[in-house]
Amino acid sequence: MTHTSDKPEGITDYFASLMADMTPAATGFSAPVVNLNRRSFMQLLGIAGGGLVLGFSLKGPQAQAQEQGALAFNAYLQIRPDGKVIIQAPNPEIGQGVKTSMPMIVAEELDAAWDDVEVVQSPINAAAYGMQFAGGSRSIPQNWDTLRRAGASARAMLVAAAAARWNVPASELITADTAVHHRASGRSAAYGELADAAAKLEAPQTVSFKAVSDYKLLGKRISGVDNLKIVTGQALFGIDQVQDNLAYAVYEKCSATGGKVVSANLEHIKTLKGVKDAFILEGNGKTGELMPGVAIVADSTWAAFKAKKALQVEWDLSAASDESWADIKHQAMQLADRVPATALMESGDVTAAMTASGNKAVEGLYTHHFVAHAPLEPQNTLATWNTDGSIEIWSNTQMPGRAVTAVAGLLGIGEDKVTLHLIRAGGGFGRRLINDPVCEAAAIAQRVKGSVKLQWTREDDTSRDFFRVGGFHAMKGAVDSNGKLVAFEDHLISFTENGDAPVSGGALNQLGFPEGSCKNARLAQTLLPLQIQCGPWRAPGSNTIAWAQQSFLGELAAAAGRDQLEFLLEALAAMPEPNPQATSPAMNKHRAIATVKLAAEKAGWGKTLPAGRGMGVAFYYSHAGHVAQVAEVSVDDNKRISVHQITAVADVGPIVNLSGAEAMMQGSVVDALSTLAGQKITFENGVISPLNFDGYPLLRMNQVPPVEVHFIHSDNPPTGLGEPGIPPLAPAIGNAIFAASGQRPRTMPLSEEGYTLV
C-alpha cells in the first residue's frame, strides 16, 4: 500500500466514473437476454465468468441442491417442474423496493401469476446483469427493456413448446396465470409441465411487449417480497449475517479526515475481556476505501464496542482536515457578490435587467448546511478470508461491482478471488455507494485470516459519513412592470476536494428551469477547497438547488404581487418546447405544467384559509421524474410550524408497483421535511458533530403530516422514484411559510432561523 501524497485521495474521481456509467446513455443495457451463450446457470451462480443460459437443464447433485431441477431460461428466470417461477432480482435493495418491482416486470411479460413467483437476490455478475447498483433512481429505467425481454422471450419459448406438443399454431395460444391455453380445444398446460421442452428451444431473436392497457400485474399494489421475513425478525440484513468461527470487529479512524495513526494503547486493549486482537492498519490513503485506523477484533460486538471506548490513539493531524464551518461561512459571505466572469450559462444581461427602470429587483442569500445520510442500519460488512487466498464478503453495499474491484485492489488479489453476496440494506440514501466499510472488513479479515463482522457504531456512521455538502446560493432576479420574470441569477458557492471538480452533490446542476424561461439569466459557481468528506445524498445537488431556486421563484412572484401558482405556471409555459430528437431524458414543460396543475387542484389551491395559514407550491425535475408538491402550513408568532397537508403529484411514466411508488413519494416527503426542519452536521477543526440521534433529529410520528400522492400515468418511459420526490418539498414548505407569515426562510435547516416543527 502506497501513498502518493500526504493528503488522502477523495472520492471525486470515483464518482466521476460512477456517474458516467450511470447516465441513461451508458446504462442502456438491454441486449444480453436474447443473445445468449450456452453456459450453465450453475456457472453463473459459481461466479465462473459471465454468460446467459438457455435451454440448459440443471443436472447433478449440485444443481439439485440448488434448485430441485429448475430450468433456466435466462439469467433472470428459472421455472421448476412444480410450476414455481424463480426470478432473480439483480439490484441492491435499500428500501426503494426494487427486489419486488424488478421481478414484477419479468412476471408481467411472462404472464406468471405473482403467487407462483419466488424472488431471489441474484449473484453479482456484470456479464449477466450489467452494472448492478442502487443509485440515480436508475434501476427501473435502466432495466425496463431487459426485464421485459427476459419475461417475454421465455413466454414465447413456452408457447412454442406448447404449440409443438399440441401440434397447433402458436398464434392460437394464449398465456395467463403461469400456463399456456388453447381455447379452441380447451387444452391448458402449466409452465412447469412445459419448462423442460421450452428451455431446450432457441430464444427468439425478437419479442413483442405487452401494451400498458394489457398489464395484469404492473400498476397493482404488491407487498414487498421480504415483508414476512421483516415482520417476523428473520436474518435478512447485513448486520444479521453470521459465519462459523465469527469474530466481531470495530475500526477506529481519525475524527478529522486525513489523520494518521502514530500509536495506540494496543497492548492494554489486548488485555481487555473478549478482545482477541488489536492492530493498526495503514490504509491506502483513499477515503472511499481504507484510511488509517485501529482495528479491534473481539468475541462479541459488545466486547469490541467496549474496547473501542478504552482505545487511546495518538493521531498525526498534519494532513488532516482542520476546517470549521464558521470559517467557511465567513469566506463564502465575502464571495457571494463576486460572480465569476466565466458563468456556467449566461443569456441576455442580468445586471442591466436588475437595474432597468420599471423593473423590480430582488436578492436573497440561501444557506444550506451539511447533513448526514443516517441510514438506520449502521455500516457493516462480514468478510471471510479463506486459506486458498480468496475472500468471501456479505455486504449491503449499493455498488457491489465496485466493491469487488476495490477489495481486489486493496488486498492485492484478483477479482476472481473476491465473491460478494449482496445483502438487503437497512437504508442507503447514497451512503452505501461508497465501499469503505467493505474494504475495512476485507482488510481486517485478511489480517486475521478468518471470518470477521465489522460493525460501525452510530457515532462512527455519522462522523465518517460522506456528507451532503453544504453551500450558499446568492440569488438575484427581477420582474418587469407587468409582473413577468425578466432576470434570474444563481451564484452557488460550493466546494472542491481535488481543486478542480465540485465535490459530489456540490455542482450547480442545470435543470434548464427557471433560467430557460426568461431572457436574462446567469448560473455561476465558485468552489472553495474542502477536505471534509462529501458524497451523494438522495437527489444529489437537486435537493438543495431546488430549495434555493424554487423558493426564490416564490420571492419573485411575491415581488410581482402575483399568485405564486399563476407565476410558476407562466414561467413554465415560457420554457422552450421539448426537443423531439433528444436522446437522453430532459424536462418537458407540458409534463411539468400538468403535474403542477393537478397538485394545485388536489390541494385546493386558492381556497380561503384562516389567518396564519398558507399554501406554497414547488416543481422540480430530477432523475427523469417530474414532481410538483403543494404544502399547507400554519406558522405562529413563535415560529412554530404545523404542516397540515402535503399534496404530491409525479409523472414518472407507467407505475410498476403502486404500493411501492406511493411509499417512495410519502417517504421522500417525510425525509425531505425531516432534513429541512432540523438536521445539521457541523465541524470545528475537522471534527464532526453531532454524532447520534439525540443531536440529529429525525422526524418522529407525531410530526408527520398527511401526504396525498397522485401519479399521472403517462406513456413516457418509466423512471425511478427513489429521488425525484425529494427536491420540491423544501421550497414548497418555504413558499408556504411565506404565504402564512410574510417571512421568507432562507436557511436549511429551518431550525437555524428559529423555526420548530410541531
Q: Which residues bind other proteins (CB under 8 A)?
A: 94-97, 221-224, 226-228, 230-237, 239-240, 242, 248, 273-274, 300-303, 305-306, 374-378, 424-429, 455, 457-458, 659-660, 663-664, 666-671, 674, 692-694, 698-702, 704, 706-707
Per DSSP (E only), the strands in 503-610 are 520-529
Say if CB 15 and CB 540 are below 8 A apart. no
Q: Give counts: helices (H), strands (E), the chain.
A: 20, 30
Return the residue matching grid coordinates 437476490.
121
Q: Quick one: 594 or 698, whose CB is closer to other proteins?
A: 698
Rounded to a whole number of angstroms, the minimum distance from the CB of residue 301 to other proteins is: 5
d(CA 726, CA 48): 40
Q: Using CA atoms, how far apart are residues 330 and 326, in angstroms rounded to an integer?
A: 6
The count of other CB atoms within 10 Å of the CB of residue 581 is 5
* C-alpha distance across the termini of the chain, in Å: 52
Find the shortest distance in angstroms from Cβ 444 to other proteins. 17
CB of 318 vs other proteins, minimal distance in Å: 32
- Closest CB 490 distance from other proteins, rounded Å: 29
Q: How far apart (Å, rounded) are the C-alpha atoms in residues 482 and 216? A: 52
Instruction: Give the three-state DSSP class for 263.
Output: strand
Residue 219: alpha-carbon gap to chain centroid: 22
51 vs 375 by CB, closer to other proteins: 375
d(CA 203, CA 440): 43
Q: How far is the CB of 297 from other proteins (least distance, A)?
A: 14
Of 661, 629, 655, 658, give the one whose Cα is nearest residue 713. Answer: 655
Query: Which residue bears the cell 438457455?
Result: 54
Neighbouring C-beta atoms of residue 214, cutoff 10 Å: 10
Q: Which is nearer to other proteins, 478 or 669 (CB)?
A: 669
Nearer to other proteins, 57 or 301 (CB): 301
Residue with the three cell numbers 404488491: 222
Closer CB to other proteins, residue 411 or residue 681? 681
Helix (H) or strand (E) holding 671: helix 658-678
Contact 504, 536 (CB under 8 A): yes
Shortest Cβ 698–other proteins spacing (Å) = 5
Question: Which of 53, 104 has the CB closer to other proteins?
Answer: 104
Q: Please report the DSSP string for 349-411 in residue order.
A: -HHHHHHSTT-EEEEEEEEE-BB----SS--EEEEEE-TTS-EEEEE--S-HHHHHHHHHHHH
The alpha helices in 199-310, defined as continuous H runs, are 227-232, 266-271, 301-310
Cis? peptide before 690, omega within 30° of 0 = yes
Q: Are 631 and 616 in contact (CB under 8 A)?
A: yes
CB closer to other proteins, 264 vs 374:
374
Q: 423 or 739, CB closer to other proteins? A: 423
d(CA 665, CA 726): 8
Q: Which is nearer to other proteins, 55 or 135 (CB)?
A: 135
CA pair distance 93, 663, nearest whole angstrom: 15
In the three-class reduction of DSSP (H, G, I as helix; E, B as strand; rest coil), residue 116 is classed as helix
User: In terms of CB distance, is 88 or 380 closer to other proteins?
Assistant: 380
Which residues have a Cβ under 8 Å from the Cβ of 357 and sit 6 or more positions away? none
Q: Name which of 287 and 647 has its Cβ closer to other proteins.
A: 647
Minimum distance of other proteins from residue 213's CB (angstroms): 25
Half-sphere exposure in the Cβ direction for 425 (13 Å, CA): 31
Using CA of residue 563, residue 567, residue 570, residue 572, what is the dihedral sign? Answer: negative
Nearer Cβ to other proteins (217/572): 217
Q: Give the nearer residue to other proteins in terms of CB position, either 213 or 232.
A: 232
Q: Which is nearer to other proteins, 117 or 128 (CB)?
A: 117
Element (H, E) at 593: helix 589-603
CB nearer to other proteins: pick between 199 and 664:
664
Least Cβ distance, residue 629 to other proteins (angstroms): 14
- In eight-state DSSP terms, residue 82 is T
323, 331 contact by CB (below 8 A): no
| Cβ count near 361 (within 10 Å) | 18
From residue 740, alpha-carbon distances to 23, 634, 736 in Å are 40, 6, 6
